[in-house]
Copies of this chain bind each other. A is one copy, B any other.
Amino acid sequence: MIIDMNKDYSRTIPTAWRDISAIFAALGDEHRQRILLSFEPGERLNVGQIAEVSTLARSTVSHHLKVLREAGVLISEREGKEIYFRVNKTFLETSFGRVTSYLAAYL
């Protein structure tokens, strides 16, 4: 049974890292961290609310929210005129869990 061969740099990134790499990239930015951390447990915030407490222009916040959503960190759902964001806690937990397991087993 073949396990991941290390040493060959061009091999595919292991499954455990697929999701997490987008998360890393998304959360490598401080503005996006602050956006994530501005959520309270179970809370939903719309773009206006997030932009309001931010120091950035609304369109810039919108951009960061897109990055966070595409990485799976946040989930968006339209509600009338507004679009509410919430933390994808389950996804984050399983992703970090997978990475922690991979770390323990293979690094």
Contact = CB atoms under 8 A, between A and B. Distances in A.
A38 B107 contact: no
A23 B100 CA distance: 14
Q: Tell me whether chain A's interface is mostly helix, strand or loop, or mixed.
A: helix
Contacts of A27: 21, 24, 28
Give the copy number: 2
Contact of A103 (B7, B38, B89): B89
Interface in A73-107: 87, 89, 92-93, 96-97, 99-100, 103-104, 106-107
A9 B38 CA distance: 7
Given A39-B107, A103-B92, A28 B33 contact: no
Contacts of A9: 34, 38, 53-55
